[in-house]
Amino acid sequence: MSKLTVIQTEKVPAVGPYSQAVITDNLIFCSGQIGLDGVKGIILEGIEKQTNQVFTNLTEVLRAAGSDLEHVLKTTIYLKNMADFAQVNQIYGSYFSVHKPARATIEVTRLPKDVLIEIDAIAIANK
């Protein structure tokens, strides 16, 4: 059986009983991140601010796991409104300018805390 390492960082708020990430073998499975500012404790307004905060949170979780965005293999984007796709895509591209992970984008009816976006990720542990 593979060793399992649970990742939790105080830099990113958790809104439920789950691990922010789990590492097994050489893979990091990051839980979905939302546009919740961990410093201010608030949900940011608008798709642009929420998307950037999601990437701030993902970056912190990956850092705590000993990795970074350049080692992300796959993401799933959950959008409350597919009309936000073009704007999210532009922001997403700024975080993955050279390395582009595999990705799925799904429109959903509702997300935790009524946010507009959530993104989860699978990455390679580079420890």
Residue 63 dihedral angles phi and psi, to the nearest 5°: -60, -45
Inform me whether the pLDDT recorded for 39 exceeds 90: no
Determine the pLDDT at residue 38.
Answer: 85
> What is 4-124's CATH topology?
60s Ribosomal Protein L30; Chain: A; (3.30.1330)
Quick one: tokens of 90?
Answer: 């532009």
Of 10, 58, 50, 8, give the one whose Cα is nearest residue 33. 58
pTM of the model: 0.94
The domain limits of the chain are 4-124
Say what the pLDDT of residue 2 is: 74
Determine the Cα–Cα distance for residues 127 and 119; give it in Å rounded to an integer.
Answer: 23
Q: Looking at residues 97-123, what average pLDDT do you find?
A: 96
Contacts of 88 (CB under 8 A, 6+ apart): 47, 51, 77, 79, 105, 117
Q: Please give the average per-residue pLDDT across 85-108, as a whole number.
A: 96
pLDDT tens column, 61-95: 999 999 999 999 999 999 999 999 999 999 999 99
What is the phi/psi pair of residue 39, to 5°? -75, -50
